[in-house]
Structure 1
Amino acid sequence: MNQHPIVNRLCYTLLAISLVTLRVVAQAPQRQPTPNDTLKSPKVMADKRVMISIYAPKASDVTVTGDFLGQPKPLSLTKSEQGVWSTLVGPLKPDYYTYTLMVDGVRTMDPKNPVIKQGISSLENVMAVPGTETAFEDNQPVPHGDVREVWYQSKSLGMMRRMHVYTPPGYEKGTTKYPVFYLLHGAGDDDSGWNTVGRSGFIMDNLLAAGKVKPMVVVMPNGSMPMPPQTGMPTNETMNRMRSLFADELLKDVMPHVEKTYRTLTNQENRAIAGLSMGGFQTLDVTLTHPELFNYVGVFSSGFFGATVDEAETKYAKVLNDSNFNKGKKLFWIEIGKDDFVMDANKKTIALLDKHNIKYQYKETDGGHTWINWRQYLNEYAPLLFR
C-alpha cells in the first residue's frame, strides 16, 4: 500500500535537509588539533618536581606565584615553539599547594586544573604532591564525618550568611551531645577555606580514626565582614569595626544557631576556639572580651596588628588584669612559623600577655604564613581539646 501523499512529502523534505546538512559539514573547515588537547597541568614527577604549564600561544609573558616558592616574587614560565608556557619547580615536600598564573598581567587560573580554593574576591588552584607526609590530611579509607554548608539569617548584618559545619562519623544516627570547636579562617578567605585547602574534614576524620581526638562538632564561620568602600590597606578604625562586627555575629547569630540546630554541649568546658591570621586576631578579641565562653583557645600565625597592639592593653584591661583568667583556660595555644611576616605582631602580643601574667603554650615552627603550616597546626591543636 502506498503511503499518504503528505507523509511522502515529509520524508522527501527530511531527506533533503539531511543531505544539505551533510554537505555543509563536509565543506566546513575542520578544527586543527593543538597542544592544549593533550596538555596536563600540573604534572607531578616521580622525583617530586612539578611541571606547571598553560597553552597561551599569543601571550608575551607568563609567571606563576604559589606557596611552594617560599617568597612573593613570581617565577617566569618559558614558551615553547608550540605556544606552551612551562616551568619546573621543586622537588617539593609532599603536601597541598596553592598557585596562580599571570598571563600578560592578567591573573589567570590553570585551565587544566579543576581543583580550586575560593576566597572572597579571588580563586587559586590547588595541587597535591603525594607522599607519606600528607597522610594526616589525605582522604583515607576511614569512617568519614559530614561537612555541611549551612545558611542562616544574620540579624547582626541583616543578610543571609553561610558557615561550614563538620559533624563526626555516626552523628546522624546517635543522640550524643558533642563539644564544639569554632575554627576561624584568615583575611581574604571565607568559610570554605578550612574545608577546601585547609583539609579540616579529612584531618578530623583521620585523627578520630587514630583515636587521637575526642569526637566534636567543628564550626567554620565566615569571618570576612562586609567591607566599607575604601582604597589601600584597611585603617585601624576599619579593622576595629570589622572585629566588632565579627564578635557580634559570632555571639548573637552563629553560636545561637549552632546550639539550636546541633547536639552540642553549651558550657565553657566544652567550647574551643582557634583561628589563623585574621582569625587569630578575632580569637584574641573574643577571648579577652568574653573569657567566660571558651576553655580552649588557639592563635595561629597572628597577634594584635599595627596600632592595635598599643590599643589592646587599654581595650582588654579588665580581663588582662583579672587574676582568675588563667583558671578559666585549660589551654591557651600560640603557634607561628619562624619566617612568618606577622612575627613582630606576634612577639608584641606575647610580651603583652607576659606583662599581665597570662599563661600560654608557645611553639615556633619552620615556614611562614601559609596553609602548609596551618593544616599542621590544626593537626596538633585538635588532639589537645576537651581532655
Structure 2
Amino acid sequence: MIVSMNTSRFLATLFATVVAVGALAQAPQRTPTPNDTLKSPKVLDDKRVMIQIYAPKASEVTVGGDFLSGGKPISLTKNDVGVWSATTSPLRPDYYSYTLMVDGVRTMDPKNPVIKQGISSLENIMLVPGAETAFEDIKAVPHGEVREVWYSSKALNMMRRMHVYTPPGYEKGTTKYPVFYLLHGAGDDDSGWNTIGRAGFIIDNLLAAGQAKPMIVVMPNGSMPLPPSSGMNAQAMNTIRSMFANDFLNDVMPHVEKTYRTLPNRENRALAGLSMGGFQTLDVSLTRPELFNYVGVFSSGFFGASIDEAETKYAKALNDPSFNKNKKLFWIGIGKDDFVMDANKKTLALLDKHQIKYQYKETSGGHTWINWRQYLNEYVPLLFK
C-alpha cells in the first residue's frame, strides 16, 4: 500500500489529536466558581453602584474611594458562595476612583481593568454615566494625541517622563501653538491628568465645540524622588517645591520648546495645578512672573509654608505694580468642604493685601478629581484670548 505524504501528515495529526483528547479527558477538570461570571462594578438603574469581589477565604472586605466624599469605607457582605458585595448610595454621574481592602490588604478590583496609577499605588476607576459627564466623555469628534515623553533631567540627574497632548491635526500641520503646563497633586504622577483627570477628552470636546483655542498641553511629573522615609510635612513640601522648580524651568520647558512647535512667549504660556501642583504653580508664577500670562490654582494655597515666609519669598512679585497688567488670568477654585480651605483663605488674604487681582470660584464638594475636572473645563476656555 502506498501512502501519500499528505495522507501521512493527516494520519499523524489525527493520532496526535486523539491522544490529546484522551489525556484531556483523564485530566482533573477545573471546578467553575462564581468568579467566572462575576461583574464589578455594576451601575444600577437608580445610579447606585454594586462593587463585588470573590474572596471565599477572606474575613473582612471594605471599599473606599472619592465617591464617599471623605466618609468611612463601606463594609462588604459575604454571601454563601464566597462573593462579597456592597452597594453605594445613588451617585451623581461622574468618574470615581475606589480601592478594596481584603483582610487589611489594599487590593484592586480584579474584574475592573480601568485604573489610575500613582507613585506608589493603584486605584480602580468607575463611570456612572449621565448627562453631567458629557464634557469629559469620549465623543465622535476630532481627537488629539497624548504621548509619553521621556527627557533627561539634569536638575535631578535622571530620566523623567511627562505626558504631552497635541491638538487634532498637529502631525500634519506646521502651525505653532500656545502651551499649557498642567500639574497634578501629591501621590500622583504625570499620568494622573490623562487617566482620572480626563484632560485629553475634556480639551478635545472643548475644541470641537469651538470653546477653546488649540493648544499643546504638557503634564509633567511633579512628584520628586525623595527618600522613602520622607513624609508630607512642611520641610518635604519646600524641598519638593525647590526640586520641581529647578526641573521644570531648566529641563521640562526647554525640552518642550525645543521639541514641539510652540509659541515661546508669556502671552502664549499658561500654568495651572491642583493641590501640590497648585502650590508649585504659585511658587513658579510668583518666582518667575514674566513667564506666564495665565495662572490657575485648584484646591491649594501656601500650605507647608507660613504666609509670612511666602510674603518674604515672593516680595518682588507681590510688590510689583505691573504684576496685574502682565497677568491676563489668575484663576483660583476650591470646594467649600476642601481640607485645604484654611490655607486657601490665607493665600487669598495675602493676594488681597498686595492688591493682586484674581478670579475666585468656590464650589460644592472637597478635595477630589470630581472638582478638578470641572475646574479644568472652566479654565481652558479662558486661555489665550
Task: Report the TM-score when normalising by structure 1.
Answer: 0.95
Instruction: Please say if residues 43 and 52 of structure 1, whose CA atoms lie closer than 8 Å, have aligned partners that are also in contact.
Output: yes
Instruction: Please say if residues 306 and 345 of structure 1, whose CA atoms lie closer than 8 Å, have aligned partners that are also in contact.
Output: no
The aligned residue for residue 260 of structure 2 is 262
Is residue 65 of structure 2 the alignment partner of residue 93 of structure 1? no
Distance 1:3 1:142 in 2: 62
Instruction: Please say if residues 237 and 304 of structure 2, whose CA atoms lie closer than 8 Å, have aligned partners that are also in contact.
Output: no
Instruction: Please say if residues 236 and 308 of structure 1, whose CA atoms lie closer than 8 Å, have aligned partners that are also in contact.
Output: no
The aligned residue for residue 57 of structure 1 is 56
The aligned residue for residue 78 of structure 2 is 79
Which residues in structure 2 correspond to 1:16-27 (within 5 Å)?
Answer: 21-27=20-26
Distance 1:53 1:235 in 2: 36
Q: Percent identity?
A: 77
Instruction: Please say if residues 55 and 83 of structure 1, whose CA atoms lie closer than 8 Å, have aligned partners that are also in contact.
Output: yes
Matched to 1:246, the amino acid is F
Distance 1:347 1:181 in 2: 26
The aligned residue for residue 43 of structure 2 is 44
Spell out, residue by residue over 1:22-48, the C-alpha distance to the aligned partner (whole angstroms, 9 max, x if none).
444322221111110100000011111
Is residue 381 of structure 2 the alignment partner of residue 378 of structure 1? no
Is residue 365 of structure 2 the alignment partner of residue 367 of structure 1? yes
Instruction: Please say if residues 276 and 300 of structure 2, whose CA atoms lie closer than 8 Å, have aligned partners that are also in contact.
Output: yes
How far off its partner does 1:228 sit? 2.1
How far off its partner does 1:200 sit? 0.4
Which residues in structure 2 correspond to 1:349-364 (within 5 Å)?
Answer: 349-364=347-362
Instruction: Please say if residues 144 and 169 of structure 1, whose CA atoms lie closer than 8 Å, have aligned partners that are also in contact.
Output: yes
Spell out, residue by residue over 1:235-266, the C-alpha distance to the aligned partner (whole angstroms, 9 max, x if none).
32222121111111111111111111111101
How far off its partner does 1:322 sit? 1.4
Distance 2:10 2:34 in 1: 44
Distance 1:235 1:91 in 2: 36
Q: Is there any run of 5+ residues in structure 2 with no aligned partner, and where? A: none
The aligned residue for residue 128 of structure 1 is 127
SS of residue matched to 1:128: strand
SS of residue matched to 1:190: coil
SS of residue matched to 2:380: helix
Task: Report the TM-score when normalising by structure 2.
Answer: 0.95
Instruction: Please say if residues 179 and 217 of structure 1, whose CA atoms lie closer than 8 Å, have aligned partners that are also in contact.
Output: yes
The aligned residue for residue 241 of structure 2 is 243
The aligned residue for residue 334 of structure 1 is 332
Distance 2:220 2:51 in 1: 33
Spell out, residue by residue over 1:186-205, the C-alpha distance to the aligned partner (whole angstroms, 9 max, x if none).
00111110011100000001
Matched to 2:172, the amino acid is K
The aligned residue for residue 143 of structure 2 is 144
Instruction: Provide closer, same or farther for how the CA distance between residues 29 and 315 of structure 1 changes in structure 2, counting only shifts above 3 A.
Output: same
Distance 2:18 2:137 in 1: 55
Matched to 2:63, the amino acid is V
How far off its partner does 1:310 sit? 3.4
Spell out, residue by residue over 1:98-131, the C-alpha distance to the aligned partner (whole angstroms, 9 max, x if none).
0000000000000000000001110000000111
Instruction: Please say if residues 67 and 91 of structure 2, whose CA atoms lie closer than 8 Å, have aligned partners that are also in contact.
Output: yes
Instruction: Provide closer, same or farther for how the CA distance between residues 156 and 90 of structure 1 changes in structure 2, counting only shifts above 3 A.
Output: same
Instruction: Please say if residues 63 and 100 of structure 2, whose CA atoms lie closer than 8 Å, have aligned partners that are also in contact.
Output: yes
Instruction: Provide closer, same or farther for how the CA distance between residues 22 and 319 of structure 1 changes in structure 2, counting only shifts above 3 A.
Output: same
Matched to 2:349, the amino acid is A
Instruction: Provide closer, same or farther for how the CA distance between residues 218 and 12 of structure 1 changes in structure 2, counting only shifts above 3 A.
Output: closer
Distance 2:172 2:15 in 1: 63
Distance 1:283 1:341 in 2: 19
Distance 2:29 2:228 in 1: 50
Q: How many residues align?
A: 383
Matched to 2:35, the amino acid is N
How far off its partner does 1:173 sit? 1.3
Spell out, residue by residue over 1:63-114, the C-alpha distance to the aligned partner (whole angstroms, 9 max, x if none).
0001111124111001011110001112111100000000000000000000
Matched to 1:59, the amino acid is A
Distance 1:44 1:166 in 2: 31
SS of residue matched to 1:99: strand
Which residues in structure 2 correspond to 1:142-221 (within 5 Å)?
Answer: 142-221=141-220
Instruction: Please say if residues 233 and 304 of structure 2, whose CA atoms lie closer than 8 Å, have aligned partners that are also in contact.
Output: no
Matched to 2:74, the amino acid is L
How far off its partner does 1:155 sit? 1.1
Instruction: Please say if residues 235 and 304 of structure 2, whose CA atoms lie closer than 8 Å, have aligned partners that are also in contact.
Output: no
How far off its partner does 1:325 sit? 1.1
Is residue 329 of structure 2 the alignment partner of residue 347 of structure 1? no
How far off its partner does 1:13 sit? 9.7
Distance 1:237 1:17 in 2: 69
Instruction: Please say if residues 182 and 218 of structure 1, whose CA atoms lie closer than 8 Å, have aligned partners that are also in contact.
Output: yes
Q: Is there any run of 5+ residues in structure 1 with no aligned partner, and where? A: none
Distance 1:191 1:308 in 2: 28
Matched to 1:376, the amino acid is Q
Distance 1:291 1:312 in 2: 15
Spell out, residue by residue over 1:141-199, the C-alpha distance to the aligned partner (whole angstroms, 9 max, x if none).
11111111111111111111111111111111111111110000000111110011100
SS of residue matched to 1:68: helix
